[in-house]
Amino acid sequence: MPSGPTPGIHDLSFATTEFVLPHTALAAHNGAEIGKYHVGIGQRAMSVPALDEDIVTLGAAAAAPVLARHGTDRIRTVLFATESSIDQAKSAGVYVHALLGLPSAARVVELKQACYSATAALQFATALVHRDPAQRVLVIAADTSKYALGSPGEATQGAAAVAMLIGSDPALVRIEEPSGLYTADVMDFWRPNYRDAALVDGKKSVTAYLRAVEGAWTDYREQGGRALDEFGAFCYHQPFTRMAYKAHRHLLDVVGRDADRDEIAGAVGPTTTYNAVVGNSYTASLYLGLAALLDQVDDLTGRPVGFLSYGSGSVAEFFAGTVSPGYREHLRTGAHREAVERRRPLDYAGYRALHEWSFPTDGGDHPTPAQTGGPFRLAALRDHQRVYETR
């Protein structure tokens, strides 16, 4: 493998939806105490896709600022991670490739393993850059999480996309070796092909997640990874933000440390800001946590950050990244905050109408209402083909 700078995340940008449902509206409809959401699961709002939004439009919107800053010439691979796939054969990334005008001399694939696959994409991307330090890889993680109305998972729904440019001598975070890995066959969360909404066993999923934390960390240390005290912060997959606190408390227990509340809050609290108001974005969730951490903490230069990626079913990975000198000059803090603040609030009736809508399956011409104001939209389903347009 060629020697040289350690590959990593050179740029990071995220996008979320046109609409938002505050948990106050959900609580009012359900007759629930708001503390059930604000405190119990740590969620305050959830992003809701418009009828002309999906993982492709969100992924393209997240990636466009990255390409505007860095160009496309060195991008020969696009890795699209999602568990909200729109086609059983064609990669969602191919649609994004066209919308963004990327060169035809590129490979584009879609990766799937529940919420974990963006980390697989990141690791595959760093391997490609190791092999050829001159190239860059565009990694996109995009998902819309959907559960049945009135189900326990309803309050954790959300939607977002994160785009990361992976290259040598990265401006944001250098991805280190080794990784700690863990896989177990667990039916804690799944979505059969014939269902739009996922199925989840909440208690089983929390237990499976915590076992994965322990397994991935144990393997990480056995592979020669850093000691716990070396890390300046920890990013966890956040199906709901309180899960990050549970996971870190469990990690402290595993290494025989007292689970001090202030220590836990300091380690994971800054990573939860965006997820708390966006909801569960599945593959994008972990990296939305990284965006929040980098955007909020004053100076992480040279500090290692621990990453725990979890995907139900289940696969997990623990790895480390060191924050690059001068990283703050390359952040998109203002754009990220604007993406969250620009969303239009829904009442429960408006949210329910969007939740229950679906395209007919007869192969006819079915245009979508223009509800969004972003650069890309899903214009229609025509002849069983999704039709996208740029503005």
pLDDT for the residue 2: 41
CA 203 to the chain's CA centroid: 22
Report the DSSP pairing between strands 173-175 and 180-183. Answer: unpaired
**AA letter at 176:** E
Higher pLDDT: 185 or 191? It is 185
118-161 pLDDT tens trace: 999 999 999 999 999 999 999 999 999 999 999 999 999 999 99
Class of domain 8-390 (CATH, top level): alpha beta
- Nearest residue to 161 via CA among 19, 55, 280, 274: 55
pLDDT for the residue 249: 97
CA distance 257 to 286: 24
169 contact partners, CB below 8 Å, separation of at least 6? 5, 10
How many CA within 13 A on the CB side of residue 305?
33
- Nearest residue to 50 via CA among 374, 319, 363: 374
* Residue ranges per structural domain of the chain: 8-390
Element (H, E) at 131: helix 117-131
- Prior bond to 312 cis, omega within 30? no
CA distance 147 to 153: 6
CA distance 378 to 370: 9
**Does residue 114 have a pLDDT over 50?**
yes
pLDDT band at 94 (very low <50, low <70, confident <90, very high): very high
**Does residue 202 have a pLDDT over 70?**
yes
Catalytic: which of 10, 23, 97, 237? Answer: 237
**Does residue 235 have a pLDDT over 80?**
yes
- What phi and psi, each to the nearest 5 degrees, are found at residue 133? -60, -15
User: 279's torsion region: left (phi>0), alpha (psi -120 to 50) or beta?
Assistant: left
pLDDT band at 4 (very low <50, low <70, confident <90, very high): low
333-352 pLDDT tens trace: 999 999 999 999 999 999 99
- What phi and psi, each to the nearest 5 degrees, are found at residue 181? -120, 150
Catalytic: which of 83, 110, 214, 317? Answer: 83
8-17 pLDDT tens trace: 999 999 999 9
Q: Is 250 a catalytic residue?
A: no
149 contact partners, CB below 8 Å, separation of at least 6? 352, 355, 356
CA distance 94 to 331: 27
Catalytic: which of 10, 18, 53, 115? Answer: 115
Q: Which residue has the tokens 């934390």?
A: 213
pLDDT band at 1 (very low <50, low <70, confident <90, very high): very low
Q: Is 235 a catalytic residue?
A: no
Both tokens assigned to 135? 């190239």
**Does residue 3 have a pLDDT over 60?**
no
Higher pLDDT: 34 or 201? It is 34
Q: What is the pTM of this model?
A: 0.97
> What pairs with residue 386 in β-bridges?
381
